[in-house]
């Protein structure tokens, strides 16, 4: 088989949580533009309406469903309806996630922030991030496995973060714990589901321009500041995730499971300030 043919996802049925913005929207797009049928699950009805219309206008087969990943019963129903509509579920991106607010230092790591200190960290803030960024991934993998196991095939891809293996002190403890937890849950699921030819992997992005945290990364001055912390000296566009997403969703990655693939402009190497 030619390598290009191994990237074909035509006719696949897919679900992307948090699929109507940023990184999830890029996953939706790369699947849909390659002929897959994609259901975006998102809490934002406004984003769903806008993106479903735009993508359908391109001639792509997409649907939107307003689902909060913290509502596990609603998530299960959305999976059931999607699998019924497409007659199959081949790919699931467990991507929905939120920013936790400030960490124990400012984002530039220059100053301590009292409300981010562990003794002041509000339980409600902690619980919300864990509910969405960790428990939401658990519920999504669970729903996907239920549909993929009987077919003995499938691809599950979790969006983690650099925060899964290093501490971004400006971002907040709950995010670190949730992403590290999601990475290890991915590995557990990969081992368990391998027997059924279901692969489970993670994409760990660095700094991408999206709407997370109210869209602070959209600001030019923020991008310029963050770029200094990245060996490639720039933040990234979500387009730059498309190749890896298609690889993990398609037969091209058939022997890859339990891997967390980092796409961070070199951040995990450390940095030099020349
Ligand atoms: N942007 C980055 O630099 C970056 C880096 C590493 C990891 N990530 C991760 O990427 C994922 C996507 O984030 P993004 O940067 O594209 O942000 P984004 O805000 O642009 O997109 C996230 C989408 O998820 C949706 N969402 C939020 N809570 C939800 C819930 N409870 N149920 C369903 N949908 C929900 C939002 O409405 C939004 O459309 C997150 O898991 C985030 O932690 C982002």
Is 90 exceeded by the pLDDT of residue 42? yes
Least confident interval from 21-25, 33-37, 46-50, 226-230: 226-230
Residue 3, domain member (yes or no): no
Q: How many domains does the chain contain in total?
A: 1
Distance in Å, CA 113 to ligand 1 centroid = 24
Residue 59, domain member (yes or no): yes
Is 80 exceeded by the pLDDT of residue 248? yes
Distances (CA, A) of 243 to 4, 89, 140, 199, 252: 12, 21, 23, 18, 11
Could you identify the atom of ligand 1 that is nearest to the CA of residue 70? Answer: 31
Mean pLDDT of 14-42: 98
Is 90 exceeded by the pLDDT of residue 73? yes
How many whole angstroms separate alpha carbon 82 and alpha carbon 89?
8
Distance in Å, CA 60 to ligand 1 centroid = 23
Residue 274, domain member (yes or no): no
Residue 27, domain member (yes or no): yes
Per-residue pLDDT band for 274 (boundaries 50, 70, 90) equals confident
Q: Residue 161: CB within 6 Å of ligand 1?
A: yes
Residue 268, domain member (yes or no): no
Mean pLDDT of 45-61: 98
Least confident interval from 36-45, 81-90, 126-135, 166-175: 166-175
To the query of whether residue 161 is one of the catalytic residues in this protein, the response is yes
Residue 113, domain member (yes or no): yes
Per 3-state DSSP, what percentage of the chain is helix, strand, and coil (rounded to 5)? 50, 15, 35
Is 90 exceeded by the pLDDT of residue 14? yes
Mean pLDDT of 105-116: 89
Which of 72, 233, 199, 204 lies closest to 138 in space, CA to CA?
72
Residue 121, domain member (yes or no): yes
CATH number (domain holding residue 123): 3.40.50.720
Tell me the average pLDDT of the chain.
96
- Residue with the nearest Cα to atom 1 of ligand 1? 208
pLDDT for the residue 109: 81
To the query of whether residue 196 is one of the catalytic residues in this protein, the response is no
Residue 14, domain member (yes or no): yes
Q: Residue 223: CB within 6 Å of ligand 1?
A: no
Q: Residue 47: CB within 6 Å of ligand 1?
A: yes
Choosing from 15, 16, 17, 18 the residue with most ligand 1 atoms within 8 A of its CB, the one to mutate for a pocket test is 18
Q: Residue 30: CB within 6 Å of ligand 1?
A: no
Q: Can you give the three-state secondary structure of 52-67, one letter per residue? A: HHHHHHCCCCEEEEEC
- Catalytic member of 175, 247, 250, 253: 175
pLDDT for the residue 273: 79
To the query of whether residue 111 is one of the catalytic residues in this protein, the response is no
Provide the residue range defining the domain that includes 100: 9-262
Q: Residue 27: CB within 6 Å of ligand 1?
A: no
Mean pLDDT of 115-125: 94
Q: Residue 159: CB within 6 Å of ligand 1?
A: yes
pLDDT for the residue 268: 94
pLDDT for the residue 100: 87
pLDDT for the residue 241: 98
Percent of the chain with pLDDT strictly greater than 90: 95
Mean pLDDT of 195-205: 98
């Amino acid at each position: 088989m030619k390598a290009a043919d191994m990237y074909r996802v035509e006719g696949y049925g897919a679900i992307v949580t948090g699929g109507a913005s940023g990184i999830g929207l890029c996953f939706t797009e790369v699947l849909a533009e390659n002929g897959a049928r994609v259901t975006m699950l998102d809490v934002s009805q406004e984003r769903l309406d806008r993106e479903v219309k735009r993508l359908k206008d391109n001639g792509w087969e997409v649907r939107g469903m307003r689902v909060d990943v913290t509502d596990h019963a609603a998530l299960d129903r959305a999976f059931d309806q999607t699998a019924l509509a497409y007659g199959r579920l081949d790919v699931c991106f467990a991507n929905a996630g939120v920013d936790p607010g400030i960490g124990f230092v400012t984002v530039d790591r220059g100053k301590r922030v009292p409300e981010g200190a562990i003794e002041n960290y509000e339980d409600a803030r902690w619980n919300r991030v864990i509910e969405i960024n960790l428990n939401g991934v658990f519920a999504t993998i669970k729903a996907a496995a239920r549909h993929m196991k009987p077919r003995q095939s499938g691809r599950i891809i979790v969006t983690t973060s650099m925060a899964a293996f290093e501490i971004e002190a400006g971002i907040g403890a709950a995010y670190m714990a949730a992403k590290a937890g999601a990475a290890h849950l991915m590995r557990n699921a990969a081992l368990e589901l391998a027997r059924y030819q279901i692969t489970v992997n993670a994409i760990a992005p660095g700094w991408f321009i999206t709407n997370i945290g109210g869209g602070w990364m959209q600001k030019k001055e923020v991008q310029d500041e963050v770029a200094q912390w990245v060996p490639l000296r720039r933040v990234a566009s979500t387009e730059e995730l498309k190749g890896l997403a298609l690889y993990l969703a398609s037969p091209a990655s058939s022997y890859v499971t339990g891997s967390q693939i980092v796409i961070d402009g070199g951040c995990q190497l450390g940095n030099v300030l020349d």
